[in-house]
Structure 1
C-alpha cells in the first residue's frame, strides 16, 4: 500500500473506530500484531500487519481471536491494559516533513490502577516494506520494546526515523512546473525525488498519458489528476491466480492483466485480502501441524495397546506358571541344589515335563518364585485389561479430535483456537490474571448458534470437545434429546422441542439423526446408525477426557446424511 492510500485509510479508521479502551493483545498470523478494543458494549480488533500485500492496519468488528503471546505482546499488555486509545495518525519526521514515510502512530493514555497517575505511550508502526516494524515507546518516544529486530532503533534510546532524503512535493507543482522538474532530473528517478510517488504511480501516469515518448507535460497532467483520485471513496483488489497481489485506494488501470475488484473501503479490501491470501494458507499449515501431532499420539497409543495385549497374553498363562511351582514342590526330594533344570512327571498331561530352574536358588525358592509369578500374572490380567480400556478410550478420543481438526474451516474461530490449545502441548509459564481470565472465558462462556430449526424444534451441535461438553451438559436440559453417530467421531447434537409437553414426531427425530450423521466421520456414508436418548441419560466418563460420555436408554436410527444436501 502506498503512502496516499495509507493516509486515507488512517482517516477512515479514525471514523470507524470509536473512542475505545485496550482490552487484549496478541501476536497473530504472518508477522501481524493484534489489538483488542472495547467501546461500550462493542468489541473491535485492530490488526497491524508487517508483511506482504496486507501490510498496514485493518479493523474488524468483534472480539480479538486468540493466537499466541510474545515478549512484545506481554510488554504491551502490561503497560497498556485498559489504556485509552486517544489518537491514531500519520507520524511525520519533523526534520523532513515531506518525506511521506509510511509510518503511523497510536497514542494511548494509561492510568496507574493504584495511584491514578496518567501516562502516555505510543505504538509506532513502520509499514515501510521489508524493514517494517512496530515499536512501543513512552511519551518522549524512548523505545521500550520492539516487535522485531532493527538496525536503527534500540531499546532505551529515542526513536529514529528511517533514512530519507529531501524530496520535492508533487502536490505543490503545477503541470508545467512538474514537467520542468523532469527536464532537470531523470524521469526514472521520480520515486527517489518526489515525496510519496512510487514506480507504480508513475507507471499509471505514463499509461494514462498514452504517450510512448513520455512527454513530460502530458505525464505531469495525468499524474496530478491521478493523485486527486486518492480523495475518492472506495478501494481495489488486484488478483492474480485467485490471490490478491495488490491493494489500493485508486484504480491502477495499467494493471489490466490482473482481475480488478472494486471494494467499498480500504479496510474492507484488506479484510477480504486476508480471507483470500493469509487465512487459507495459515489454516492449511496449522491443520497440518495439528493433524501430524495427533497422528503421532495415535500411533503411540496404538503401540501401548499392543504392548498391553502382549502382556495380557503372557499373564493369561498364570495357571501354567502356578502348576510348575506345584510340580517342583512335589519333586523337591529329587532336585539337587544348583540344578539348572529338572524333569518331572506332570499328572495333568500324563507326560514328563522339563522345567527351567535358577541354579542360584534352592529348590524350595524356585517353587516359591513360580507361585509369586502366578499371583503377579493374575493381578496383571486385571491391570492390563483396565489399562487397555483406558487406552482404547484415549484412542477413540484422539481419533475424534483428528476428525475435528480435519473438518476445521476457519483458523480465526474460537473453535479452532480451543482445539489447538486442548491438543497441543502448552509451554509452561508463570500464570497471570490475564491467563486465568482467558482460560475461564474459553471454557465457560459460549455462544452456540442453532444449526437448524423448524416449527417443532431447535437443534444445536458442538464443533469440538469443549463445545460438545457445553451443549450436552450446560445447554441441554433433561427433557431435551441428544444424538450422536454410533461408534465414530462426531458432534453432540441437541434437539430442543418448542413445546416441552409434546412427544417428538418421527420427522423431528430423523432431522436430529441426520444432523448428527452429517456432522460425523460417517458423513459420506449412506446408512449411518445414530443413537439418540434423553439428555438426562448422558453422563461424563469418570476420569475421561472432555467430551467423552456414556449413555443409556437409547434407541438407534439409520439415516442417509447425504439427504441433507438435497434439502
Structure 2
C-alpha cells in the first residue's frame, strides 16, 4: 500500500492521539530534506520524523537513531526559533489528500499568543514542509524553496502567501456518498472496478483501490462492505506483507485476498511498521545521496584498474611467446649461409622440434644476420617485461581489492560513515581536498566502531570503514582480544573484548563479520579468527590492510535477525 490519502488518514489518526497537547522539546534536521520534532506528550518523548525526501516522503514516529550535522541549517534555526516550546493542538489531514497539517499554539517575542501550522505535503518530488503563520497566511520558511520560475501557480518562499496545492475534483471517501455502490453494480471485473474507484475517490492508491474492489465484489451488501473498509483505517492492524510474487509492502490491515500472501508480520503501530519497512531503504538512499561523489570516484578507479589488468594480461600472454623469438633467432644464425639476401621469409629445419620445417618471416631491408639479431632483441625485451608486468599486476590487483573493499563499505555504510570514507579517499589521493578548511577537517578524530553484545554479555566491536578498522585492530584492541575477518572477502574488522570467549560468542562475532562484509548475501561464509597480537601491518600498506598467520576458520550464514539481537 503506497503512502496514499487513505494511509495518510490512518497515520494522522495515530499521531493525533499520541501528540495532541504535547510540547515541542527539540528540533533536528539530520538530513537535507528531513526534520525531527522531539515532542514530549503523555510523559513520553516521541521522535516525529517528517520527510520531504522525494523517494521516501512520509510522517511518522521513529525509533531509528540519527545523528545531527555539526552545524544546524538556516531552516533548522528558524524552526527552533518558532516551534521549540510550542504546544501541538492537533494533527489533521486536508480532505483525503496526502497533506498533513500540524497546528501549534505558542507565544511570540512579545509574549502574545501565536498560532502556527506546519504543512507537510507528501507528494514524491513535490514533497515539502512549510511553516505558516495562521494570522497572516504568510510562509515563515520551507525546507525546499520553490520560486516562481519553478512553479507559476504557487511560490514557496519565506514571506510569500501560502497557497494550498490544487485539489483534484474527486469525492472524499469519508464523506457519505454512494458512488462505490453504483460502480460495483455496473462493473464486475476487479481490475476495472479498482481503476474506476481510483478515478472517483480522492487519495486512493492502486493497492487501496484493489482492496476496496475486492471487498465490494465479494460482499452482498456493498454499503456495509464499504463502511467496514473505512473503519479499518481508524482501527488499523499494521502489517508488513510479503506477497507470493516476492514483492514486500506495508498495509494498514492484512489484504483480504489471503491467497496472494506468502508471509505476514504484524506491528503494534503504523509508525513501527514504517520503521521496519523504510529503515534500511531510506538509510541506503541517504547514503547514496551523501556518497554520490565517492561512488562515482570508486567506480571510475575500479574501471580504470580492471582495464589495466586486461592490458597487462595481454602483455603477459605475449611474453609466453618469448622462446619462439629466441628459437627463430638461433635457427637463422645456424643457417645464415642458406638465406638469400632481401628475402621476406624462409623455411628452415627446426632442430628443436624433430627437424620439422619452420617458416620464419624476414625483413627484406635487413641482412640475414640483422634479422636474426632482431628476433634475439624481441626475446630479450619480452623476458625483461615479465618481471615488470607481474609486479604491475600484483600492484593493480591490490588496488582493485582495496577499491572493492571501499565499494563494499559504502554499500554497508550509514550516512554518517561516509565522512570517514571520504576522508580516507582524500588521504589516499583519490579525492582532492578543495580548500585549506577541508584540510583541517581531514585531521579530525576517527569515530568509534559500532558496539554489540553477545548472548553472554561480552562486548564485540565492529569497524565500519578502513580508518575505524585500523584504529580498532591496532589502537583499541588488547593484544589478547580475539580478532575476526571474513576470509579473502572485503569486510569489517571485528574484535571480541575477551581473550577466551565462549564458542557461542565466537559464532555471534563471526555472524557480525560475515554480515558486515561483501559476503552478507552468501551462505557458509568463511571467517578467520585469531588473537589480535598476531596481526601485522606492512609499512606503506593501505588503510585496513593486515597480514597474519595461525588463524582458525569457521563457517557461518549471515542472519540479520541475529545481528539485530546483538545490537546494544
With structure 2 as the length reference, what TM-score do the two structures score? Answer: 0.55
Retained in 1: the 8 A contact 2:449–2:461? no
2:452 aligned with 1:449 = yes
Aligned with 1:101 (options 83, 97, 102): 97
- For residue 479 of structure 1, report the CA deviation from its aligned partner: 6.2
Deviations 1:277-304 (A, max 9, x none): 6667888999998566335436768999
2:140 aligned with 1:136 = no
Structure 1 residues 290 and 166: CA distance shift in structure 2, 3 A? closer
2:65 aligned with 1:63 = yes
Report the Cα distance in structure 1 between the residues aligned to 2:432 and 2:286, rounded to whole angstroms. 20
- For residue 492 of structure 1, report the CA deviation from its aligned partner: 3.9
- For residue 497 of structure 1, report the CA deviation from its aligned partner: 3.5
3-state DSSP of counterpart to 1:158: coil
3-state DSSP of counterpart to 1:161: coil
Residue 164 of structure 1 is matched in structure 2 by 167
Residue 154 of structure 2 is matched in structure 1 by 153
Report the Cα distance in structure 2 between the residues aligned to 1:225 and 1:506, rounded to whole angstroms. 55
Retained in 2: the 8 A contact 1:243–1:276? no
Structure 1 residues 486 and 166: CA distance shift in structure 2, 3 A? closer
Retained in 1: the 8 A contact 2:238–2:251? yes
Deviations 1:78-128 (A, max 9, x none): 4235853743855566xxxxx43321134679999x999999865422225
Residue 469 of structure 1 is matched in structure 2 by 470
Q: Where do 1:63-462 residues align within 5 Å?
A: 63-64=65-66, 74-81=73-80, 84=84, 86-87=87-88, 90=91, 99-106=95-102, 123-128=118-123, 132-139=126-133, 140-143=136-139, 144-145=141-142, 147=144, 149-154=150-155, 155=157, 156-164=159-167, 173=176, 178=178, 204=211, 207-210=214-217, 218-237=221-240, 239=242, 241-244=245-248, 247-251=250-254, 253=256, 257=260, 261=264, 263-264=266-267, 265-274=269-278, 293-294=297-298, 296-297=300-301, 399-400=401-402, 402-406=404-408, 410=412, 412=414, 414-415=416-417, 418-419=420-421, 422-423=424-425, 425=431, 443-450=446-453, 459-462=460-463
Report the Cα distance in structure 2 between the residues aligned to 1:483 and 1:207, rounded to whole angstroms. 53
Report the Cα distance in structure 1 between the residues aligned to 2:528 and 2:206, rounded to whole angstroms. 64
Report the Cα distance in structure 2 between the residues aligned to 1:153 and 1:102, rounded to whole angstroms. 17
- For residue 21 of structure 1, report the CA deviation from its aligned partner: 0.9
The number of residues matched between the two structures is 443
Report the Cα distance in structure 2 between the residues aligned to 1:400 and 1:482, rounded to whole angstroms. 20
Residue 14 of structure 2 is matched in structure 1 by 12
**Two-structure CA RMSD over aligned residues (Å):** 6.3
Unaligned runs of 5+ in 2: 188-192, 313-390, 560-568
Structure 1 residues 393 and 472: CA distance shift in structure 2, 3 A? farther
3-state DSSP of counterpart to 1:448: strand
Aligned with 1:560 (options 550, 553, 557): 553
Retained in 2: the 8 A contact 1:10–1:88? no
Report the Cα distance in structure 2 between the residues aligned to 1:565 and 1:92, rounded to whole angstroms. 43
Retained in 2: the 8 A contact 1:22–1:35? yes
Unaligned runs of 5+ in 1: 28-32, 94-98, 308-387, 499-503
Report the Cα distance in structure 2 between the residues aligned to 1:103 and 1:417, rounded to whole angstroms. 34
Report the Cα distance in structure 1 between the residues aligned to 2:408 and 2:78, rounded to whole angstroms. 39
Residue 314 of structure 1 is matched in structure 2 by none
